[in-house]
Amino acid sequence: MDTQLLSAFLAVAETSSFSVPAERLHLTQPAVSKRIAALEEQLGVRLFDRIARHVSLTENGQRLLPRAQRILREIEDTERVIRDLSGSVSGPLAIATSHHIGLHRLPPVLREFSRRHPEVRLEIEFMDSEKAHDAVAQGNLEFAVITLAPAGSAPRLEAREVWPDPLSVMVARDHPLAGHARVSIGELAQHAAVLPGPGTYTGQILQQLFDASGVRLEVSMETNYLETLRMLAAIGLGWSVLPDSMRTEELVALELTEARLARSLGYVYHRDRTLSNAARAFIALLNPVAPNV
C-alpha cells in the first residue's frame, strides 16, 4: 500500500478537510483528492462522506484510521532505527511543546542543540500540553516538553521534571486585594477571575484546590494563553494564577493561605518507543543528570 496515500488519508481524517492537508503536504487540493480516490479504489470502499463542505470518516474510514497510523509509525520507526545504527545524530526531530515553554524555557536549549547537532532538522509543533501528552501516549509523537499532568501520566509514559514552576495569585496594583500579602480561597471567590480553561493542567490544579475547600470557582474569562491572562490581570479585569517568572511591575503576587501553588514542567516519552539518537541528545540537554532513556 502506497504510504503517500495513507499520509493523505491521515491528514484529511485529522483535519476533516481537503484544503488544510494540501498545505501541510505541499500539494494542491485536487492532488489530495486524487490520492484519497486512489486509496478508496484500491480498497474498494468509500473512506469519507463529503456533504456540502463537511468531510467525515465513514465506518470503513474509522476502521482504517488506527491501522494507517500504526503502519506509518512502524515505517517511521524502522527508518529511524536504521539511520541511528551509525550512531550519528541527524535527521528530523519533531518536538511538541506549549507556547509558554517554547517562549520562556526552550530557547537556550534549542540554541545549544542546534549548535551541537546541525545535521538534525528540528520540527517544533506548538500545542496545549494536554494534547501533546495524549499524542505521545497514542504514539503519534516521539516526545514532548510540556506542563506535566498533576495527577500523573498515562500508563506506559515516562515523565521527568526539568523545571519546577511555582505559581502565585496575581492582581493589578489597583485591585481591591492588592494590599493583602495573603488571601484565602474564600476571599478570591468574591472577585472576578481570569484563568486557564478547566481542561488544562494548571486549571485542574486550581479547581482541585477550590473543590477541597468547598468553594465554588467561577471564572469571568478564560484562555489557555498565559501571556493573555497576564495582560487581562494587569489591566484589572480579574485575579489570575500565573508562574512567578511572569510577574511584572504591573502585577502584585499574593500567597494563598491554604496552599502553595506550583506545577512541574518537563518532558514525556513512551516507554515502549525506541527514542532516536536525536531525541536522546535533546533529552540529555534538557536534563544532563537524567538516567539513561
Calpha distance 82→156 (Å, rounded):
24
- Of the two residues 20 and 170, the one the predictor is more confident about is 170
Q: Which residue has the cell 481591591?
A: 176
Instruction: Examine residue 225 and state whether it is found in any structural domain, yes or no.
Output: yes
Give residue 288's pLDDT: 60
What the block records as the C-alpha cell of 275 is 527514542
Instruction: Examine residue 293 and state whether it is found in any structural domain, yes or no.
Output: no
Give residue 291's pLDDT: 45
168 and 151 part of one domain: no
Amino acid at 73: R
Calpha distance 173→251 (Å, rounded):
6
Instruction: Examine residue 87 and state whether it is found in any structural domain, yes or no.
Output: yes
- Averaged confidence pLDDT in the chain: 89
171 and 153 part of one domain: no
The last residue of a domain, from among 39, 72, 105: 72
Digit-coded pLDDT (tens) for 177-208: 998 888 999 999 999 999 998 889 989 889 98
Give residue 1's pLDDT: 67
35 and 64 part of one domain: yes
Digit-coded pLDDT (tens) for 76-134: 777 767 766 666 788 889 899 999 999 999 999 999 999 999 999 999 999 999 999 99
Give residue 289's pLDDT: 44
Instruction: Examine residue 65 and state whether it is found in any structural domain, yes or no.
Output: yes
Sequence-ordered list of residues with C-beta below 8 angstroms from that of 84, at least 6 positions apart, any chain: 276, 277
Give the CATH number, domain containing residue 123: 3.40.190.10
Domain count for the chain, please give it: 3
Predicted TM-score of the model (pTM): 0.70
Percent of the chain surpassing pLDDT 90: 56
Digit-coded pLDDT (tens) for 230-242: 999 999 999 999 9
User: Of the given ranges (38-42, 89-93, 173-177, 278-282), which has the lowest mean pLDDT?
Assistant: 89-93
Instruction: Examine residue 292 and state whether it is found in any structural domain, yes or no.
Output: no
Question: 8: domain range?
Answer: 3-72
Q: Is the pLDDT of residue 290 over 50?
A: no
Digit-coded pLDDT (tens) for 207-225: 989 999 999 988 999 999 9
Percent of the chain surpassing pLDDT 70: 96
Give residue 83's pLDDT: 67
Cβ contacts of 218-222, under 8 Å, gap ≥ 24: 218/189, 218/193, 219/193, 219/194, 219/195, 220/192, 220/193, 220/194, 221/194, 222/194, 222/195, 222/196, 222/197, 222/198
Beta strands in 3-150 (DSSP E): 48-51, 54-57, 91-97, 120-126, 143-147
CB atoms within 10 A of CB 170: 25
159 and 280 part of one domain: yes
Give residue 245's pLDDT: 92
Give residue 265's pLDDT: 95
86 and 116 part of one domain: yes
Give residue 22's pLDDT: 84
Q: What is the CA radius of gyration of the chain?
A: 23
Calpha distance 113→245 (Å, rounded):
24
